[in-house]
Structure 1
Amino acid sequence: MSNTPEHPATRAPVLVTMADDIPGHEVEAVIGIARGSVVRARFFGRDFVAGLRNLVGGEVSEYTKLMAEAREQALGRLVSHAEEMGADAVVTFRFSTAAVMEGTAEVLAYGTAVKLK
């Protein structure tokens, strides 16, 4: 067994869970906080259609899609950060959102990067 780091392409994917632990695995070490964020802005095309939907009620699917894309991008950045840290997993994963300025929102994905035995 070599002490050289594995090539990224041969590493197992980073496990991500909202739980405090991963069944069947034992945490060897806590590495630190892994995070990934994205700030997304609305744009006129979506705002126009969303405004029309707002008049008749119901789900504003344009914004639902925008926020889903932002969550996926933030999660991808969290996984990349955890990989850079040498983590095998991220436990206690969470999302957080905040308004940055009018018409923009930040989606932050964060959790505890750990090394598994």
Structure 2
Amino acid sequence: MIIVTTDFVPGKEIKELKGFVRGNTVQTKHIGKDIMAGLKTLVGGEIEEYTEVMDEARQRAIGRMVKDAENKEANAIICLRLETSNVMTGASEVIAYGTAVIVE
């Protein structure tokens, strides 16, 4: 599956639009990582535990979007976008969306 943030795939021609595709996940904090993150707030810097958790959530959302595109028999996704929002205290939703297409 080709995935791009642009509205075209360089060197390819869009033959058919298959439509909107998306994938999402809601990720909560992990108690063990939360404790380590709390300690890091005392000294400052990147909270790597949260970075790792959110990266996993993004990958999961993208994977679900790809499955949606595969179900539509697409071979590429253009205009990929990622959004994150808080849905409750300690939980964030990650949404990946784009347009499924067939390219040649």
1:107 aligns with 94
- How many residue pairs align between the two structures? 104
TM-score, normalization by structure 1: 0.85
Q: Whose Rg is larger?
A: 1
Unpaired runs of 5+ residues, structure 1, are 1-13
Unpaired runs of 5+ residues, structure 2, are none
For residues 80 and 60 of structure 1, the distance between their equivalents in structure 2, rounded to whole angstroms, comes to: 31
2:46 aligns with 59
Runs of 4+ with >3 A deviation: none
Q: CA RMSD in A?
A: 0.9
For residues 17 and 43 of structure 1, the distance between their equivalents in structure 2, rounded to whole angstroms, comes to: 31
Q: Does 1:76 align with 2:46?
A: no
Q: AA paired with 1:61?
A: E
The structure richer in strand per residue is: 2
2:36 aligns with 49
Between 43-52 and 97-106, the greater mean CA deviation after superposition = 43-52
Q: Does 1:34 align with 2:21?
A: yes
Q: AA paired with 2:94?
A: V
TM-score, normalization by structure 2: 0.95
